[in-house]
Structure 1
Amino acid sequence: MQTVIDKTIGITRHLTLNRPKQRNAISLQMVDELLQKLSEAEEDQQVRALVLRGAEHNFCAGGDIVDMLNAQQGASDGENNAFFHLNRRFGELMQRFNRTPLVVIAVLEGAVMGGGFGLACSADITIADHSCRFALPETRLGIPPAQIAPFVVARVGLSQARRLALSGVKVKAQQALEIGLIHQLLDDTEALEGALQEHLTAINACAPGALAITKQILMDAARVSDENALGQLLDGAAKQFSRAIQGHEGREGARAFLEKRSPEWQH
């Protein structure tokens, strides 16, 4: 593992993008390492939250130009799908982080560009400081933000996504807060760390199984487009609720409430 630093503290797996000389641009190697570390975190029964951040005060400046050049060489050598596979692999990364049952917190500083912008949009909770600059610069480079676009639309809505993607304009942290791209804006690094700990403390008070089920219901709800689909979603959610309240976490939560104590999952 060379491009991702990982550390587990209590209920939290911390993943740090570690290519500071490239402002933590995402390479194919980094994609592979992130996916591996995500799988390991999901298999760890103690882990409920995953913190994603960048080394040396930049989150991520986008995709790695070296991989682009390698794909160009592959295409020149007759590998017709070189760019397709490169682009789609990054989309797989965002899908996995978007759908993981873990609570994903993105801690943002400095550059949040292109693929880094998309990755931030796949997080459940996104906090940033005033050093952040956000942009989707792809169209200025003659390409579309192909894998990023759906996650940006889901985060900020179609109108803002169109403005950002079709102009490539840079957005400051205060503007990002106003359009819902980030959830919390902090003054400095110390305040950022304090806010992160507050979120982790809150997550620690939540039952791990209930967190995973709730996230699944929320993600499914975002795709509901008609009344029939809504009814099916609510039927499924009722079944999940029934299983949960009769399961170990539901019984423990009720006992802890009545006995005026912390539940067993709160460390």
Structure 2
Amino acid sequence: MTNQTLKVEREGAVAQVTLNRADVRNAFNEAVIAELTATFAELGRDASLRAIVLAAEGKAFCAGADLNWMKAMAGYSWDENHADASKLAQMLWTIYSCPIPVIARVQGDVYAGGVGLVSVCDIVVAVESAGFCLSEAKLGLLPATIGPYVIRALGEQASRRYFVTAERFSAAEAHRLGLVHELAADAAALDEKIAALLAAVSANGPAAVKACKQLVQDLAHQPITPPLRDDTARRIADIRASSEGREGVQSFLNKSKPSWLA
């Protein structure tokens, strides 16, 4: 795939997708949205991948909407705005629903739609100096398309505050609230933590990892009803009876390495 706004690199079973518009703080425009959507759709179909790292060049991770894109939107009709926003919504869903674990490498500030981009990732590691801001209300707008993911990642009560105040909050606060999983002192420590997480994910059964990711998405906030309990019983039966599940259990019992670690 040829990209103008992204760098896509592959090392073994890990892909890295890097936002490559440092001159505009990696802000979104139509091209970024289209390329992220197509890239994650393609990577999600690659059965040999074990993890994807979402990173960015420059001082900022993502500053939200590109200024020129915003100028164009200012003259859009309702229908044009709806079509445009639907593309962003599809991009977010494509990353969120990607079957492969996605780890965000946050090396700098994250604003507006960038917070949504972080929120659709499964694991988030950020440098301590990064700042976060849901700044839409300052422009008379609202974080609508990113809202479902941000509220899940940041929490309802914190979202009530930061959606309406548009205050900047620190990486430490983002970590306390659960949006960020790990903090790093600098870029070197950031890469060390990413490497450790990649090693942890890669040590597990590939099919099991994908099933675990889907399980969380399907079960979160659901009432624990008889149909849900039966669904979970069916899922564990499916994976126990699978070739990977059988091999994993036998390897554990026999104190040997399964094929994915060989």
Report the TM-score, using the length of structure 2 for normalisation: 0.95
User: What displacement does 1:227 show?
Assistant: 4.3
Give the drift of 1:98.
Answer: 1.3
Structure 2 counterpart of 1:254, one-letter code: V
- The one-letter code sitting in structure 2 at the alignment partner of 1:17 is L
* Pick aligned residue for 1:56 from 55, 58, 62: 58
Tell me the equivalent position of 1:247.
Answer: 242
- Is 1:263–2:258 an aligned residue pair? yes
CA deviation string 1:28-74 (max 9, x = no partner): 11111111111221121110211101112321000122222223334
**Residue matched to 2:12:** 10
2:28 is paired with a residue whose SS is coil
Q: Please give the per-residue CA displacement for 1:140-161, whole angstroms capped at 9, x wherever unaligned.
A: 0111111112111111211100
Q: Is the 8 A contact 2:41 2:94 kept in 1?
A: no
Secondary structure at 1:62 match in 2: coil
**2:107, 2:127 within 8 Å by CA — same for their partners in 1?**
yes
Instruction: Work out the CA distance in 1 between the residues paired with 2:221 and 2:86.
Output: 21
Q: Structure 1 counterpart of 2:135, which letter? A: P
Q: Secondary structure at the match of 1:161?
A: helix
Partner AA of 1:197 in structure 2: A
Q: 1:36 corresponds to which residue?
A: 38
Equivalent positions of 1:32-111 (< 5 A) are 32-75=34-77, 80-111=78-109
Superposition deviation, residue 217 in structure 1? 1.4
Deviates more, 1:250-259 or 1:196-205: 250-259
Cα shift at 1:86: 1.5
Unaligned runs of 5+ in 1: none
Following the alignment from structure 1 to structure 2, what is the Cα–Cα distance between the partners of residues 157 and 168?
A: 16
Q: For the residues of structure 1 that align with 2:39 and 2:256, how far apart are their CA atoms?
A: 34
Quote the offset at 1:262 in angstroms.
2.2
Cα deviation code 1:74-95 (max 9, x no counterpart): 43xxxx4111122221111111
Q: Matches of 2:197 and 2:251 in 1, distance apart?
A: 22
Give the whole-Å Cα distance in 2 for the aligned partners of 1:49 and 1:8: 10
1:233 aligned partner: 228
- Taking structure 1 as reference, are residues 178 and 223 closer, same or farther at Cα in structure 2, changes over 3 Å only? closer
- The CA deviation at 1:199 is 0.2
Q: Equivalents in 1 of 2:261, 2:28: separation in Å?
A: 35
CA distance in 2, matches of 1:234, 1:209: 21
Structure 2: how far apart are the matches of 1:94 and 1:202?
25
What do residues 103-145 of structure 1 show as CA deviations (whole Å, max 9, x unaligned)?
A: 0100102120011101101111000012201000000011111
Distance 1:120 1:262 in 2: 34
Distance between the aligned counterparts of 2:73 and 2:171, measured in 1?
A: 33
**Structure 2 residue identity aligned to 1:31:** I
Aligned CA RMSD, in angstroms, stands at 1.4
- 2:144 maps to 146
Q: What amino acid does structure 1 have at the position aligned with 2:256?
A: R
User: Secondary structure in 1 aligned to 2:75?
Assistant: helix
Runs of 4+ in 1 over 4 A off after TM superposition: none
Q: Give the counterpart of 1:27 among 29, 45, 64.
A: 29
1:249, CA displacement in angstroms? Answer: 0.4
After TM superposition, the score normalised by the length of structure 1 is 0.93
Residue correspondences, number: 260
CA contact (8 A) 1:72 1:82 kept: no
